Amino acid sequence: MLYTHLGRTGLQVSRLCLGTMNFGPETDEATSFKIMDAALDAGLTFFDTANVYGGWGDKPEVHSGWTEEIIGRWFALGGGRREKVVLATKVHGAMNDPLDGPNDARGYSAYKIKRAVEASLRRLRTDRIELYQMHHIDAHAPWDEVWGAFEDLIAAGKVVYAGSSNFGARHLCWAQQAAAGRHFLGLVSEQHKYSLLVRQPELEVLPTALELGLGVIAWSPLGGGLLGGHALDGRGGQRSASAADGLDDAARSRLTRFHELAANAGVSPANLALAWTLANPAVTAPIIGPRTPEQLAEALAVPEIELDADLLAGLDQLFPGHGDPGTGADPAAIEATAPWAYAW
């Protein structure tokens, strides 16, 4: 496994991040334990979850917090599991806690942040969270309130770093400006939807994160399973099957050509999609969400995959992005590419 710094911090994380959203609703607890053990054995030490995970699906035991509880029971097995993991979780959504009343609503009041941390720590059976991420933007809570709560949690040792998820470039800038005014580190990462199928973040979010020194954690790097290799033949997960049902002929043809590119490169479609995401200099790690130990084993090769210029050009032709002006490009070329293309 390869490692890198998380943004501008001194923290080292694996170049793959283990996503746990499937744990509970799609992957039973015993299999979840096997996946986490296999990940740790392979040196994949960066785990991502959220307090609301587990609260979807049609199983009778579905409830928000289920995924954190599974991870907590795995930590409780000991053997250095907790000590080896860089743990990331999130706050924002409603947890359906009747004790919180109206303050169970989405957002980041200092009250909610502090109560949510305590609840996640209990479910995770740990005393600290390495990366505590704001799951979505809250247009109402002022940054002084948010950063005040984070400063208290960091001073208490309950949180180590602050991160964001699904923020726009302007939100990242506002957050860091407010943090700088408090002589506070602020955000160290942004978790964002990014894949060959979703390249809009190249316009502003990725270059902004790179300039601010924020590590980008890419979620849904397989495009909801469409780039995983089995969406078209019905062997993917429930979400990828649902997404495939809505594809038109042109989209199906493009995915078929993508599979051909992967075959010619000697890698699986899923690994090609992940390696492409990881090749972006703004990206610290893509999130992989294996439902089985076999899917995890396949993905472990991704950090070692090198994509040559011809393959990258072929992917750009198939899934057009927003370009890279390169060094020494003329002004007209620069204005047509990200992040300049967004301005006028």
Measured CA to CA, the distance from residue 14 to residue 43 in angstroms comes to: 7
Domain range 3-342, CATH class: alpha beta
The answer to whether 259 and 271 are in contact (CB under 8 A) is no
Q: Where are the domains of the chain?
A: 3-342
| Cα 321 to Cα 310: distance, rounded to the nearest angstrom | 16
How would you write 262-295 as a 3-class SS string?
HHHHCCCHHHHHHHHHHCCCCEEEEEECCCCHHH
**Cis, peptide link before residue 339, omega less than 30° from 0:** yes
Question: Is 111 one of the catalytic residues?
Answer: no
**pLDDT tens digit at each of 344 positions of the chain:** 999 999 999 999 999 999 999 999 999 999 999 999 999 999 999 999 999 999 988 888 999 999 999 999 999 999 999 999 999 999 999 888 877 788 877 889 999 999 999 999 999 999 999 999 999 999 899 999 999 999 999 999 999 999 999 999 999 999 999 999 999 999 999 999 999 999 999 999 999 999 999 999 999 999 999 999 766 665 555 555 566 667 889 999 999 999 999 999 999 999 999 999 999 999 999 999 999 999 999 999 999 999 999 999 999 999 998 765 555 556 566 566 666 666 65
Q: Tell me which of 53, 132, 161, 194 is the catalytic residue.
A: 53
